[in-house]
Structures are given as structure tokens and as C-alpha cells.
Amino acid sequence: MDDLRISPEVEAPRPEIPAIAVEVRQGRASDRDAIATFLERAYRRRAKYKGAARWEWQFVSNPFSHQPTGLVPVWIALDGDQVVGQIAVQEAILQVGDETLDAGWILDVMILPSHRGMGIGHRLYEAVAADAPVLVTLTMADATRRMAERLSAVTLDHVHQLTRWVRLDSQTIRRYLMVRTATHPRARVAVRLGCDVGQLHRLLPLVVNPVLWARDRVRPSPGVSDSTRIAEVTRFGHNMDELWERTRRDYPVIFPRDARFLNWRFVDSPQPRYRCFVAEREGRTVGYVVLRHAESVELPEGHIVDLYAARDDRQTIEDLVAHSISFFGSDVAALDAAASMAEFETVLRRHGFVRTRTHRPTCVCQDDGLRRRIADLSGGWFFSKGDHDWDQIHDVEALAEEPD
């Protein structure tokens, strides 16, 4: 099933906007409590997924942080002493050709409803871009894209989200339709009618599941080849640095996949919980895959969060995808993955994945020369769901009730 990012497209028009003096600046460590209060007010039921442990991991103990002491990579809008909006940056390093640059992911773009439509979003984005040399956003609402475009963002090549349907059930279909239509009142009414009167959610599995059953009989997913050994690890070791050094030049633009990144991103993150698998062939590490079972508040999906190997090592990519399919088995309604490079997408499609969504990431750069290089390399970026904070817990009940 595709990602549940909700776009804020049905806001009521604002008849009159009162003049409010709002200060925009970078957050300080001492703003922490005010930001926590803002997150509670802004995200309501979803605030627990942005709690203290995750905030500390993402913005304070991030090993790629390049903030001076006392500052945090969160830009805030203040009305008096109250935080009324923010844009956060998950700091990172980015490989562009032979160079490694300080960069950041734009995330948690949020303004309190009382302060929307006053240009605070633009002001926050401008303040972030003045301080950060390279800012990347992978999935975003229309409003965030407009803010980036005003700052001459480069729009990068497509990133495809891919789904492999496994087994559908009526409850999952209903929950999925409700959350997808949360910001579309008319579509929401149609879904309610379709399900309550037409029993659409019960009919769909009756039609689709036999087709999926036939697919698995006619084209069963080939298992992992005999020559590849895939083992679960609790922490990534130095063998990942060797793999990264051997393969990094395959990828013109990539957020480096070395052991330091992998351990911070997938082992030390307070939530969600990831399962990490490393592939070896003839005594050499050849790739890895990071998988995640959805939490009980999410749709029952299996996520292929990050899958990596040498770009031309088709065998390893095939084996890691086959391993993922067998790991999730038939316990899930669908498997979800994302790929920006044809070498990965081709294998996923061969294993029954279909494109369900297309994303166009953006990149805002301070330096004109770098912007031109990024534009030239716009089709050479490696992205997966492990980038940005794309893979996060999507609480479907909370999203269906409170989409923004």
C-alpha cells in the first residue's frame, strides 16, 4: 500500500488575517520545552511519535550534526514566548561525485492552524536555507514544494514507491480508504457509502485474492540463491564500511551507507524497530537489507526500508528482495518499497511489485555552482525509504481523524 502522507489541500479560505508579530529564528537548546509543547499542540494524537527520545536521537545525538553548541537544527516561529511553527532539519552528509558535503533533510514542516496563511512557512524555509548549504526533501505536501521552489529548488528525477500485494482483508481496505480520503470530504462520503451500503471493502478481497493466489502459483518468487548467505545482525560492523568503500562510486549522489550511518539510522533509532540482514558471497559482504513489520496502529504491511548492493550486482539485489518476500510471508496485506534507480526497480518489479506512487524530491542549494551540478546529476541520486524520515510510524486511526 502506498505511503499515507496527507496533503493539506482542503483548508478553509481565511477571510481576514490579523497582523501578528512573529519572530523566526533557529532553535536553541533552551527552547526544548517550548518546542515540546508546540509538538503536543500541533500533532495531537501523533505527538507521541515525536517524543523526547526520538527528538534527542534525531536532532541532538545525530552523529552527522554540524551545529554550534547551544543550537538545535530546528527553526521556530515564535508568537511571544510560544512556538507556533517549525521546520526541522535532520542533518546528514551527502556524497556528490568525489565530494562529501554537509546537508540536511527538511522535515516536520508545521504551523499551528491559528497562524497559517501568513507567510510564516516561507519565512521559516528562507531562514533554514540561509544557514544550511544543501537541503533535500523526498516526500512533501504541495505547500512545502512551493516554499522550496521560491528558493530556486532543483526538482530531482522520479522516485517510485512500489507495492507487492500479498493478501487483502476487508478491515485493512476500509482503514486504508478512510485515511486516504481524510482530507477529501466528498471522497470520504463516497467511501463510507461504498463500504456501508455497497460492501466494497468485503467485495474487493473476493476479487483480488484469487488473482494474487494465481500469481504466486504461476510466478512464484525465486528463493535466495545457494551461493548467497543472508544473516540477521544486531549491529552493523566494519564489513559494511568495506562494502561502502568498494561500491560508493557506483552512485553519483547518495547519503553514504557506511556503518556509522546504518547503526545510527536503523539500530539506535528509538522507534520504529528494524530488522537488519547482511548478505555474503564467497566470504565477502555484498549487500544488506533493512526490514520492518508495521506496528499495530498501522496498516498491516511489510516495509523494505533500505536495500543496498553494488549497482551492477543483480544477483545480490535479487537475493535480498527474495529474502524480504520470504521474511514477511503471508502475514501482511502488502509489501512496500521505494527505488530511484532502475537497477533496483527492475528487480522489484520482476518479483511482483507494481508502482503505486511517484515522488519528485527537491534540493535547495546555497551555492550556484553546486546547484548546477545537482541539476546535471538529478537522475543519479540513490534514494530508499531509509532516506529522509520517510519511514516512520503512520498511525492510521489518528491520521484518519486528524490529517494535519
In the complex, least distance from residue 109 CB atom to ligand COA, rounded to whole angstroms: 4
Give me the residue whose beta carbon is nearest to ligand COA.
Answer: 121
Q: Is 109 among the residues that bind ligand COA (CB under 6 A)?
A: yes
Residue of 2, 4, 8, 202 interacting with ligand COA (CB under 6 A): 8
Nearer CB in complex with ligand COA: 161/316: 161
Residue of 63, 80, 97, 119 interacting with ligand COA (CB under 6 A): 119
Question: How many of the chain's residues bind ligand COA (CB under 6 A)?
Answer: 21
Report the site for ligand COA in 121-150 (rule: CB under 6 A).
Answer: 121-122, 140-144, 146-147
Nearer CB in complex with ligand COA: 159/310: 159
- Site stretch for ligand COA (CB under 6 A), options 119-127, 272-280, 358-366, 378-386: 119-127
Q: Is 116 among the residues that bind ligand COA (CB under 6 A)?
A: yes
In the complex, least distance from residue 305 CB atom to ligand COA, rounded to whole angstroms: 20
Cα–Cα distance measured from residue 268 to residue 56, given in angstroms and rounded to the nearest whole number? 11
Nearer CB in complex with ligand COA: 112/377: 112
Nearer CB in complex with ligand COA: 135/243: 135
Residue of 9, 216, 312, 401 interacting with ligand COA (CB under 6 A): 9
Report the site for ligand COA in 162-221 (rule: CB under 6 A).
Answer: none
In the complex, least distance from residue 140 CB atom to ligand COA, rounded to whole angstroms: 4
Q: Is 39 among the residues that bind ligand COA (CB under 6 A)?
A: no
Cβ–Cβ < 8 Å for 388, 136: yes
Residue of 89, 94, 111, 307 interacting with ligand COA (CB under 6 A): 111
In the complex, least distance from residue 341 CB atom to ligand COA, rounded to whole angstroms: 24
Nearer CB in complex with ligand COA: 266/390: 390
Q: Taking each helix axis from N to C terminus, what angle separates 120-131 and 142-150, rounded to the nearest 10 degrees?
A: 50
Q: Give residues in contact with ligand COA (CB under 6 A).
A: 8-9, 11, 109-111, 116-122, 140-144, 146-147, 404
